[in-house]
Amino acid sequence: MRWHLQGGHVIDPACGRDGPADVWIADGHIVAVGTAPPEFTADRTLALDGRLVLPGLIDLAVRLREPGQEHKATIASELPAAAAGGITTLVCPPDTQPVVDSPAQIEYIQRSAAAVGGPRVEVLAALTVGLEGTALAEMAALRDGGCIGLSNGLRPVANTLVLRRALEYADTLGLTVHLHPLDPHLAADGCAHEGAVATRLGLPGIPRAAETAALAQILALVEQTGARVHICRLSTARGAHLLAQARAEGLPVSADVAVHQLFLTEDDLEGFDARCHVLPPARTAADRAALREAVASGLVQAVCSDHQPHDEDAKTAPFPQTEPGVSGLETLLALMLELVGQGVLDRPTAVAALTGGPATVLGLDRGALRPGAPADLTVVDPDTTWTLEAQNMRSRGRNTPFLGRRLRGRVTHTWVAGTLVYALEGGR
């Protein structure tokens, strides 16, 4: 299908575009932006009337729950939700059941995704066998099997010597290691930020030091090994400060933050709302402000959904016994646009954190609308207002604290490799 997207407003920070421009697509690639290609005949012309045209969103953390937890979600249920959110590439962490510590598991996920169609699925493979943190995974085989990087998921490698060897091995293979800065002993069985709210509610807390102590350890090992490390889900002002110091010293580190951390604070736990049970926990307003500034300054290159769909039972126990996580695919872009509307971010910075930034983290030639690039793109009506309602969500997981929230800006079309994979029913 040859497309002519006519009259849109292209925002492509990677190419320095922010203004009216037409886009032409053929053979799965961007043919031209701005200036019509010679002798191009479109099979279909779509009049956009000033809607935003963005590179397809790249989400660094999406749990598809398959294999092993199909009662929560499946690849078939979550890929359409991603497409509806404008996401064209998503990264699946290795903590499935069984763990992604063999090429066979990578092949299973990618084949299942290809059978469903829609957004591209990249896989993070296990850093250690079974995510147990003791024996290194067969990294070379995992790389050859198609993994995009390595991670131990939410199970930190407590043995620093094992982590050092893992970083050294990954570095020889050219693989980026994605690490969650969370000290398991300091975090213990905590479920909330250690502070006044947790104390008043009687909830076991997770101190900021659980993040900063682990982060300092990781950065020391990066300095020692020179390995490329991506820091997953920053949640504290002090963590952002440590990251800034490391970047200033030239260490090869990048970082992301979950979009809900740019909105939620510890105060949202009042009433024991389990939809606000996340890991790392929602922290103070000062931490939230620091994270927003880190994204605005480009210190944090990527914002992700940290999508973790749950069945209803997972969120209905007493708060400490509920499972952490938010279903976030369908609100990622809208929430970022809300930050633009609040003046927290400018529009190019918000788009970069969802496109070019994560593409750079992954080392992928995506996240831009340059001629010759894959035609992964999304169209957004910035003026449409809508309310997030459980019955209208495409994800099987309805566990989000943003239910009932009035949002502005909605995806109307999503293309992956030039194929239209989502069109808003009744949309312009």
User: CA of 253: how far to CAs of 174, 227, 287, 361, in Å?
Assistant: 14, 9, 21, 9
Find out whether 249 and 224 touch, Cβ atoms under 8 Å: no
DSSP-derived letter for residue 311 is -
CA 75 to CA 90: how far, in whole Å? Answer: 12
pTM above 0.85, yes or no: yes
Closest CA to 293 of 246, 352, 237: 237
Q: Which residue matches tokens 């959110």?
A: 85
Q: By C-alpha distance, which of 307, 319, 311, 308 is closest to 270?
A: 319
Cα angle for residues 77, 68, 403 (degrees, 5° grid): 40
Q: Given a cut of 70, is residue 343 above it in pLDDT?
A: yes
Q: Which two tokens stand for residue 204?
A: 């076991």
Average pLDDT over residues 306-310: 98
CA diameter of the chain: 69
pLDDT above 90 coverage of the chain, percent: 98
CB 109 within 8 A of CB 142: no
User: How long, in residues, is the chain?
Assistant: 428
Per-residue pLDDT tens over the stretch 88-101: 999 999 999 999 99
Superfamily grouping for domain 55-362: Metal-dependent hydrolases (3.20.20.140)
Mean pLDDT of 299-306: 98
- Amino acid at site 111: R
pLDDT reported for residue 112: 97
Among 104, 236, 214, 226, CA closest to 152: 214
* Residue recorded with tokens 């591209």: 120
- DSSP for residue 359: H
Contact 243, 290 (CB under 8 A): no
Averaged over 344-361, what is the pLDDT?
Answer: 98
pLDDT tens digits along 125-148:
999 999 999 999 999 999 999 999
Interatomic CA distance for residues 243 and 11, integer angstroms: 28
* Nearest C-alpha neighbor of 387 from the set 407, 411, 358: 407
Quote the pLDDT of residue 59: 98
Catalytic annotation, residues: 306
Helix (H, G, I), strand (E, B), or coil: what is residue 89? strand
**CB count in 10 Å sphere of residue 41:** 7
pLDDT of residue 425: 79
Rg for the chain (alpha carbons), in Å? Answer: 21
Report d(CA 66, CA 261) in Å as an integer: 25
The torsion angles phi and psi of 181, rounded to 5 degrees, stand at -80, 90
Using CA atoms, how far residue 165 sits from 67, 176, 232, 255, in Å, is 29, 14, 20, 22
Distance, in Å, from the CA atom of 209 to the CA atom of 237, rounded to the nearest integer, reads 11
Residue pLDDT, tens place only, 315-331: 999 999 999 999 999 99
- Res. 428: pLDDT tops 60: no
**DSSP 8-state symbol, 326:** B
Sequence spans of domains, the chain: 55-362
Convert the pLDDT of each residue in 27-50 to its tens digit: 999 999 999 999 999 999 999 999
Name every residue whose Cβ is closer than 8 Å to that of residue 161 and which is 6 or more positions away in sequence.
Answer: none
What torsion do the CA atoms of 186, 155, 236, 13 make, to the nearest 10 degrees? Answer: 170
Identify the helix (H) or strand (E) that includes residue 361: helix 356-362
Distance separating alpha carbons of residues 389 and 402, to the nearest angstrom: 9
Note whether 323 and 310 are within 8 A (CB): yes
Residue with tokens 């049970």: 277
pLDDT at 427: 55
Token readout for 90 is: 């998503």
Closest to 314 in 3D by CA, of 72, 62, 73 = 72
Q: What mean pLDDT, rounded, does the chain reach?
A: 97
Mean pLDDT of 110-127: 98
Residue 124 pLDDT greater than 60, yes or no = yes
Q: Quick check: 417 and 348 in contact, CB under 8 A? A: no
Inform me whether the pLDDT recorded for 426 exceeds 80: no
Q: Residue 265: pLDDT above 70?
A: yes
pLDDT one-digit tens code per residue, 228-264: 999 999 999 999 999 999 999 999 999 999 999 999 9
**pLDDT of the residue at 146:** 98
List, for residues 136-181, the tens digit of each pLDDT value.
999 999 999 999 999 999 998 989 999 999 999 999 999 999 999 9
Q: Which two tokens stand for residue 235?
A: 């949640």
